[in-house]
Structures are given as structure tokens and as C-alpha cells.
Amino acid sequence: GQQVMQIPQYQHVQEGEDFTTYCNSSTTLSNIQWYKQRPGGHPVFLIQLVKSGEVKKQKRLTFQFGEAKKNSSLHITATQTTDVGTYFCAGQRGANNLFFGTGTRLTVIP
């Protein structure tokens, strides 16, 4: 079956440091999405990338979609305590199913 792996599984950073999580798929994706899940909450959509090599920014967050549409990354510049949570990528192959990555749990130390 389709697999979407994320690394690292956990990341502890000092407030103000940068953070990056990487997502890799075993198959080519039609699009990739990123979600954030706060502790005790449900995943909330952040962004969708569709085009090969696409880069999108949301304030301190930068999202990239690989040229082969099999990998993606999320980079947070100068982390804040409000960035705490688990970040998931989710890939689609076709228009229906949506497979989530294993997630990266970010802890920000004040």
C-alpha cells in the first residue's frame, strides 16, 4: 500500500531556533498537504502543494514539493511556543484517498 514517511519523529528545539520536517512517499503524488495537530486536538489544514518543485510560504513557514513529487518539507523559521504540536504531511495519489505521514512532534523550549 501507499506509504508516506516523515522524519524526524520528534524534535525538541529552543525557542528561536529553526525546525524542519521531511516527508517521503514511496509513490508519485498528485498533491501533498500539510496539517498541524495541537496536543489533544484534531489535525488542521495548513497548505496544499500541487506543482512539481512548488514552494509556498506562510509567514515563518516554508513548504516545498519535490521535483519528482515524491517528497516535501516544512521549515519553520525562528520557532515560537505557539508552534508546538505534531505536523503531518498527507499525500494523495488520485482524487480520493488521503494518506497521512507518520508525523513529527515538535516541542519548543522557552
List interacting residues with another protein (CB under 8 A).
Answer: 1, 6, 31, 33, 35, 42-45, 48, 88, 90, 92, 95-103, 105
Say how far apart CA 52 and CA 38 lie, in whole Å.
Answer: 29
**Beta carbon of residue 33, minimum distance to another protein (angstroms, whole number):** 7
Min CB(53)–another protein separation in Å: 19
String of DSSP letters for 43-106: -EEEEEE-STT-EEEETTEEEEE-TTSSEEEEEESS--GGG-EEEEEEEESSSS--EE---EEE
C-beta of 78 vs 98, nearer to another protein: 98
Least spacing, CB of residue 27 vs another protein, in Å? 14
Provide, rounded to whole angstroms, the least separation between the CB of residue 82 and another protein.
20
For another protein, the closer of residues 16 and 52 by Cβ is: 52
44/78 with CB nearer another protein = 44
In whole angstroms, give the CA distance from residue 74 to residue 61: 7
Cell triple for residue 85?
504540536
